[in-house]
């Protein structure tokens, strides 16, 4: 028997190899895109430079550098910060002592001194006024036990009470003033520490804009491979169909010729 002809069907592409080729192409595209978008930047305050590290995991790194003046300011700020932290640590000791001391109480002695000082100034005049009123009432014919005499001294006593109340109020104001001074002195270490911790320098950090992005579309490796295979497979199938049609025609022609020969032998 003769050997069949017509060729063999094309082998389908290896999926693992196709995926590997596509992955390699994608990585190459990503690296190329990263290279295009890796731009060094320079400003009046500093620079941002991309450096090749040689490491396969992190091949590049970015380094930000301040210019000479800004770097000098940064060094001074760090030195100042260290000094402030040392001072703040000492201040904390003062705060501990302050918090361990009971809060100041109202100074009653100071209040009493103010009241006595005011009364000592107004009392002599009050005594003179009292004596003058008594003499006036008696000369006016009022007996010390009379209603008119009592009414006259009632008004005088109300005026004296008002004067004493003013002395009491003045003593209260002085007491409040001293309490405020003591409280302020107590809180001063805390305020000093807060001021120290809030101190900041004038360093200007360089600001870098966004990198312009240069997009690169990944190469479609799997598509052409599959398309080529599909084309070969279509060509093979078409060839097989043509071959089958040709063989069918030959077989049909051979059958007709054989039938004609037989018929001619029988009726010839």
pLDDT band at 253 (very low <50, low <70, confident <90, very high): low
Residues 91 and 134 in one domain: no
**257-268, pLDDT tens digit by residue?**
555 555 555 545
Domain count, the chain: 2
Report the candidate in 35, 24, 20, 29 with the shortest Cα–Cα distance to residue 218. 29
Residue 254's pLDDT band, with cuts at 50, 70 and 90, is: low
Assigned domain for 147 exists: yes
Which pLDDT band holds residue 25 (cuts at 50, 70, 90)?
A: confident
Q: Which of 165, 197, 229 is the last residue of a domain?
A: 197
Q: What is the pTM of this model?
A: 0.36
User: Which pLDDT value is given to residue 144?
Assistant: 80
Judgement on whether residues 138 and 173 belong to the same structural domain of the protein = yes
Pair (79, 108) in one structural domain: no
Q: Are residues 193 and 109 in the same domain?
A: yes
Tokens linked to 36? 């295009």
**170, 197, 224 - which closes a domain:** 197
Domain identity same for 115 and 180: yes
Q: Confirm whether 20 is domain-assigned.
A: no
Joined tokens for residue 127 = 């005594």
More reliable by pLDDT, 105 or 12: 12
pLDDT at res. 29:
83
Tens of pLDDT, residues 62-75: 888 999 998 898 88
> Are 97 and 135 found together in one domain?
no
Residue 162, domain member (yes or no): yes
- Tell me how far apart the alpha carbons of residues 193 and 212 are, in angstroms, rounded to a whole number: 46
Domain with 155, as residue range(s), is 104-197
Does residue 37 form part of some domain? no
Which residues have CB under 8 Å from 168's CB, separation 6+? 115
Residue 87 is assigned to a structural domain of this protein: yes
**Residue 215 is assigned to a structural domain of this protein:** no
Does residue 223 sit within a domain?
no
112 & 179 share domain: yes
pLDDT at 209 (0 to 100): 62
Residue that wins the pLDDT comparison between 146 and 121: 146
Beta strands, E only, the chain: 41-42, 46-52, 60-66
Choose between 22 and 259: higher pLDDT: 22
pLDDT at 229: 75
**Are 109 and 192 part of one and the same domain?**
yes
pLDDT for residue 2 is more than 50: no
Residue 251 has pLDDT above 70, yes or no: no
Band of pLDDT at residue 1, cut at 50, 70 and 90:
very low
- The 10s digit of each residue's pLDDT in 215-231 is 656 677 777 887 777 87
Overall average pLDDT of the 67-87 stretch:
85
The answer to whether residue 4 is domain-embedded is no
* Together in a domain, 187 and 157: yes
Instruction: Write down the mean pLDDT value for the chain.
Output: 74
Q: What is the pLDDT of residues 126-184, one digit of tens each?
A: 788 888 888 888 888 888 888 888 887 788 888 877 877 777 777 667 667 766 667 67
Residues 95 and 122 in one domain: no
What own/partner pairs with CB < 8 Å and gap ≥ 24 does 210-214 have?
Answer: 211/37, 211/38, 211/39, 212/37, 212/39, 213/37, 214/33, 214/36, 214/37
Return the pLDDT at 73: 87
Kindly state the average pLDDT of the residues 250-258. Answer: 56
pLDDT value at residue 3: 45
Are 96 and 129 part of one and the same domain? Answer: no
Looking at residue 98, its pLDDT comes to 66
100-103-106 Cα angle (round to 5)? 155
pLDDT value for 213: 60
Instruction: Give 176's DSSP letter.
Output: H
Among candidate residues 61, 83, 101, the one where a domain is terminated: 101
């Amino acid at each position: 028997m003769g050997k069949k002809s017509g060729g063999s069907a094309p082998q389908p592409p290896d999926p693992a190899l196709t995926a590997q080729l596509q992955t390699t192409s994608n990585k190459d595209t990503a690296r190329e895109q990263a290279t295009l978008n890796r731009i060094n930047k320079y400003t009046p305050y500093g620079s941002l430079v991309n450096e090749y590290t040689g490491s396969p995991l992190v091949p590049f790194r970015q380094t930000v550098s301040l210019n000479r003046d800004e770097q000098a300011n940064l060094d001074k700020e760090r030195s100042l910060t260290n000094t402030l932290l040392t001072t703040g640590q000492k201040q904390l000791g003062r705060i501990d002592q302050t918090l361990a001391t009971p809060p100041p109480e109202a100074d009653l002695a100071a209040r009493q001194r103010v009241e006595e000082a005011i009364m000592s100034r107004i009392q002599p005049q009050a005594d003179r006024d009292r004596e003058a009123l008594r003499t006036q009432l008696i000369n006016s014919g009022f007996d010390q036990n009379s209603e008119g005499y009592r009414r006259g001294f009632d008004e005088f006593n109300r005026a004296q009470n008002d004067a004493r109340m003013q002395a009491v109020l003045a003593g209260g104001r002085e007491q409040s003033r001293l309490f405020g001074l003591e409280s302020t002195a107590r809180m001063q270490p805390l305020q000093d520490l807060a001021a120290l911790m809030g101190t900041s320098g004038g360093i200007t950090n360089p600001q870098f804009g966004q990198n312009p992005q240069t997009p690169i579309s990944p190469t479609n490796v799997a598509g052409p491979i599959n398309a080529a295979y599909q084309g070969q497979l279509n060509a093979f199938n078409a060839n097989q169909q043509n071959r089958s049609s040709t063989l069918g025609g030959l077989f049909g022609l051979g059958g007709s010729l054989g039938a004609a020969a037989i018929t001619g032998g029988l009726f010839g």
